[in-house]
Structure 1
Amino acid sequence: MVLKFFAWNAEEFERSVEGFNRMGGALAGACAVLALTMGLLALRNRDLVAVLFGLTVLLMLRVAAFNSGWDMQWLGMDIPISIIMPLLRATLPLAAITQTALFIILFRQELHNLRLYRPTVIACATFGLLLLWSPFADHAEFLRTWWLMTAPGAAWLLYVLVRVVGRTKDRSAQLYALALAVTMSGVIAEIAYFMGLWDTRVSASLLGVLVGSAINAAAVAERLYTERARAIESQKRELAALREKEDNFQSSPIALFVFDADGGLRHFNLAFKRFLNLIAPQHPSSSSDICWNNIFGHVRPLAQLPETGMLESARLEFPAAALAEAKPLYLDLNWTRDGTEIRGSVQDVTDRELAKQAMQRLINHDQLTGVLNVHGLLELTNETRQENSPTNYSLALVDLARFESINELFGHEAGDVVLKSFARRLDGHCQTGELVARVGADTFVVYFPNRSIEDAAKRIRDIAVACTNFPIAVGGKAVAVSVCVGVVCQSGTLGLEQAIGVSLRTTQRAKRKRSGSVTIALETPESLSQYLNEKRLLGRIVDRLPTENFFQVMQPIVNIRHPRRKFAAEALIRMRADNGEIIPPSQFIAAAERNGMMPEIDRWTLRTACEWLNAHRGKLDGLEYLTVNVSGVSLNDVQFHADVRTMLADFPVEARKICFEITESIAVSDIEATTRFTEQLRSMGARVALDDFGAGYTSFGYLRTIPAEILKIDGEIIKSVATDPSSTAILRAIRDIASDLGMRCVAEYVANFDTLRALRELDIDYGQGFALCRPVDPSSLLSATCSADLIADAEVVRYLDLQAGRAFTTQHLRMTAT
């Protein structure tokens, strides 16, 4: 330790003390004022950096006071000797902490980039531990520890300072670094002075604090200037953003507005002003005279606007007449209320609404005639029923008779003219509430609300007569039209689509009895019941075919020429409802045909028949063949053909007993396809029968092409064979042709003994009908050895046996005579 002594006389010593106190007081006061100024600025701007700047100046000034011997006084006040040492121990680490914390804040990003942030924070924390220890530490031991920590700490801070200061572009940070360097230089000079390394009469640490404080003040001023410049720039940006926002607000094509809480118009753009001039030119030009209730009160009064902040909307419609414009005006009003103001917009959606209406018209109206289509009728009648709640309504389905012939004779353009003219007549004769819709190519529906079926029938007759009284002019020609009408009444059980379905059936009845220009048929309970049953069945099979409810019965085909020879049978499908009742085939077959499921039914029928033949192969010696029906859809289904071949290959023995029944009308519609299919069947051992032969398509020429073995004669011919000579002649001709071609004939619908006797006299081979045998359970065929075993009526058996015996005797006598 170096001790320095100065010798003065009393006068010089007094002058030295006075000068020392004056200089120290002036410096201390100046630094204190500077620190106070920084503190006030920091509080005013809420700036932590300025607070740390001021605190650093005070603490470093206090350190300089200790180094220069002013530790006994502070700003003219004596400091008690008892707290000088604890105050020194607290001041030293607190000054280090303040300096390091300020350094970390100013150079945070640079420290992170150099990966020096964590070590610097650790150094600051170490001084914090020293601060916590200072109240309890021995003074000499504390100072020793302090100097041991200060030397590496100062070296570390200088090292970091050198690396960081070149990277920052913040002038206040650079000035702070310079102030820190100056302050530390003063401390180091003071240490060198006490170590005898140099000699001076000026306190180096005090001078360093003074210069450093001045530089710190410059750093704070620079920081304030920078912050002010940033604030000004931020304000400029905000003002520019506000101007841009206002420009966007004013230039927006959507009308924007702001009303105050009392409903007065506070702010609006040019589009809203144009909107006001358009809908209400009489409104005052001053916005202060316009309020919410004047403009939008009819939509929602101000008092009813909820203060929820939720977005609400409404559609405003202004008729063209009210605006003296060529088209109406449609606007979308949107608003929200937050308690202090009402903000919203008004958007012109006229073009979109008109386009929507045009599209809706395209959707709901028939493009050719301009009347409603089915969709439009459903939409409009739903709205009508909701508004008026009619208890019932009636429908009249109007079908233009022989419309196909108009197209064939005059061309499709003429047909279109007829349709448009007739639709105009039909619509023109309807009264208010009555609706016309086109539901088919030549079919219209007239909807009569709140009318009974009788009233509707009378009304549609008057309309139809008025529409058909005069021919329609087409290209200089007059085309007379006639109609068939089906009328149904809906009283709660039918929807509109179902009522149209029922009316189609009713119209078919009108077509069958057509006479004159107007023919009308009314719905009957039977036709309605049949339609509803079919709809229920269709609902059941729409997803899948309920094969678990199917079963087969056999309709015997009796050899009426030789009753003691083998018999045949037809496999018939039946369906059992969930309650056990038997559903008539006409119902579920019709439903399956409408739903495109006939190929699946035909597959089930064929496979079930093959499996039954296979299961009872040893008990069917009396069965010659078993017929299964093939629908028209299946006959034209290539996949069905492949499935049939696969099944016949799976049951090669049973295939020789299978006979496929193909309806004559379907067979002749595509003779080539039918021929290919039947040849494939015969090549696998199966037989082919032409069903309903003679039902209107008979042409004996195609019999040479289709390789059929059996002709099943249509029941309409069989029913009248006992009473109608022409039917007898037709049947005889069919029999002769079939015999010459090596085919056998089966007469269907043998309903009574007279018919049977006529068939036997004509030497028809087989008969099928209730007069011979009703459909039976398949097990009944297992015990039968010949046709006679299946005939229920013993008198019929005796008659057929007698006729067969006579035929045998006659044939024997002829052979003997020969």
Structure 2
Amino acid sequence: MRIRSYLAILVLACLLGAYMLEQVLGYRFNHVQILASKHTQSLLRAKDFERIENSTSQFLVSTDLVIASGNTYLIFGAKNMGDYISAELSKIQGVNLSAELNAEIKKTIVNIKNINKQLDTIGNTPEKELITHLRQLLPNYDSISLSLVKSIQFMMSETKNTIQQDTIALQKEKSFIVIAAWVSRGFFFLFIIAVWWWANRKICNPLNGLIVSSHKALAGHDFQKVDNAPIEITALSNDFKLLTQTLSHQASHDPLTELYNRRAFERHLNEVMGNSEVNDQNWFLCFIDLDYFKTINDTCGHAVGDQVLVSVAHILKQNVRNYDTVARLGGDEFAILINRCTEQKALEIANKIKQAINLLTYHWEGENFNLSASIGVAPKACENTVTELLNSADMACGLAKNSGRNAVYLFDSNQQMCSDTKQQLISVHHLNNALNNNLFVLYKQDIVPLQQQKIGKSFEILLRMLGNDGQLISPAYFLPVAERYLLTSKIDRWVINAVCEHYKSYGDQLESIETIAINLSGYSLTDNELETFIIEKLTNCVIPLDKICFEITETAAIKNIKRAQLFMENIKALGCQFALDDFGSGHSSYAYIKQLPTDKIKIDGAIVANMMNNPIDFTAVKSICEIGKAAKQDIIAEFVEDFSLVEALTKLGVDYAQGYYFAKPEPLTKPPVEANS
């Protein structure tokens, strides 16, 4: 049944109840009115009888004088009085009177008529015979007059009794109607409560159940459908269930690959690590990072990149068991939780996945290229928290990349390298402690001019963090954690402040410096407070602002290109420069050169490192140089580690190079050299 049907029944029931209440009370009120009217009529009749009684007394006095004394001159008045009394009694007769009273009235009228006849006889009797005749009429007259008096007394008594009875009945009815009114209202109130309870059970209870289910769904529980409810509520419940299932799926799954997303995977990992029964079993966490995926996106386009990600997701699902969990953590990063498994089996699954990914090909400009992935495997025995376990797997993946990519690396605490790496695992608490206690150290790496016309000293500011044991920790270990917990803007603020403070003490070095390159994280471009801080800090800084060049990554800039433009223009207004770091080789990247107000382009080191062995990378570097020169921007190549790269880059017109071939990173402030004693 529909809600409107229930509401219609509810309204009709209320109207029916109100109508019945009105009928009951109306009937009782009408009855009171009838009794009141009857009582009033009785009172009026009593007045009439009282008047008739008085008139009868005068009539009898007159007739007594006529018959007893022979005063014939009173005959006419007495007769008129008698006719008047008869007429009044005739009017009263038959109007809601009892049979006895009607009989007495009829009898009274007859007696008056008889007396009037006697008066007529007296009036017609000669005077000399009058005395004799009166003596003959007197006995009959006495009996008639006595009967008349008794009839009048009976009528008065009967009327008084009727008035008393009517008064008692009226009072009883008035008392009864008060009780009846309250009882009727009580029954009506109970009726309304019963109808409300019925409607509440049919409509409100299902609605409350729907609300409770919705709140439970918001808290993360399954949505429970509402049954035995109106059609609309049942339909709404079904829609809510479908909606919550859809939203839950969207909230926990990656829309492209339909794998679990990072949030759902970490929640599942927390549940697994908190479950003692599951935690007692052997399980492993695999961290999978596709090699050079950014190059695929830039050269072949995001459509091809999306197809590659979908294909990789399909490979992962095909090569795991039903009770293993696969997730896409973001970008080209995937994770697998391998349950109830030995170390050998986990490595076998990881290597099988690596080989399957390596067989995957993508197409560009008529050529086929193979894909590869670096996989880190971390057993659950290594760490106690989700963050540390993810960092372990991430670290193992990094070691797999450092070993030449397309490799599987097991994070093993029994090996010395893994043990050293484990000591470098940090948490957000370590980062906050480093920020609060200045446990960061500034390093620099030279940027060397390759063309003869380029002069001056340039370098990039690098960052290291002091660990608990006093050893330096590479940003490769703490920056992913900083990005995960949105601490990169605070780190950028610390670096800018530290550089400005350094040159307050070493201002004499500024004359020989051409450029100081400072990295900004992707989140800094959307941080209005950091932008304000940079402007205020540089305005009061001793460093000439044209010597400062901020490096931002291409991927960070294109996430919000309008905001990046505004940020760069505001900072460039001070006189600073900007370099587009990790610039790719695809044509999709070239459009950003026209949109972003950069001064320099820094080629992605992965492309530079492989350009002598990979024709695509070589062509990409050459293309970037040509586009950069056309845009009047300086070109910087990083990851330069041998002379052959130097020669090739110089011929291509690259302006600057940076890498281990020229200089390794060194502290910005060198420790003082102790004099020999």
Higher RCO (C-alpha 8 Å, min separation 6): 2
TM-score, normalised with respect to structure 1: 0.39
Structure richer in helix, relative to its length: 2
TM-score, normalised with respect to structure 2: 0.46
